[in-house]
Amino acid sequence: MKLLRTVLAALALIALLVPTVGLGDQLPVPLEKKLTAGTTNVTYLGQTLRFTTSVPLLVKCDAETSTRFKMTVTLYPGTPLPNGPNTYAAENLYIYWSNFGTDVYNGGVPSGELTTWLNTEGGFVDR
């Protein structure tokens, strides 16, 4: 019985000392979306990005905080690699941030990853 009281007291102490995480404190689940050629809107953290592309893409968004997230764009697996200058395809990729009226990217489709950080408080794009 003494052991049970000791264990319960220890658990109560741990419960008091360890901060609890409420549902409101959790970051959103990362987003992974396949985009077909054409124009597609992607919404993450309440932000809408409009992609216009001529090849299939895979877009990943992952929140660092509630106002900052990393966006990674790659060719969809199985799509032939671009062979243009500087490892960019001649095909166009245009990413427009609707919430702030800002161009995020306008150029060729990369054969590797295109990664950028987006700050939702001021429309800041960190390339």
Q: Residue 16's pLDDT is what? A: 67
Taking only the tens place, the pLDDT of each residue in 31-80 is 999 999 999 999 999 999 999 998 899 999 999 998 999 999 998 888 87
Which is more confidently placed, 86 or 1? 1
CA angle 94, 40, 121 (to 5 degrees): 70
| Of 65, 71, 70, nearest in space to 28 by CA | 65
When pLDDT is cut at 50, 70 and 90, the band that residue 23 belongs to is: very low
Note the helical H segments in the chain.
Answer: 2-17
Phi and psi at residue 118, to the nearest 5°: -120, 130
Q: Residue 9's pLDDT is what? A: 73
Q: Is the pLDDT of residue 22 over 70?
A: no
pTM, two decimals, is 0.72
Phi and psi at residue 86, to the nearest 5°: 60, 35
b (16+ CB within 10 A) / e for 101-117: eeebbeebbbbeebeee
Q: Is the pLDDT of residue 82 over 70?
A: no
Distance between CA 35 and CA 41 in Å, rounded?
A: 9
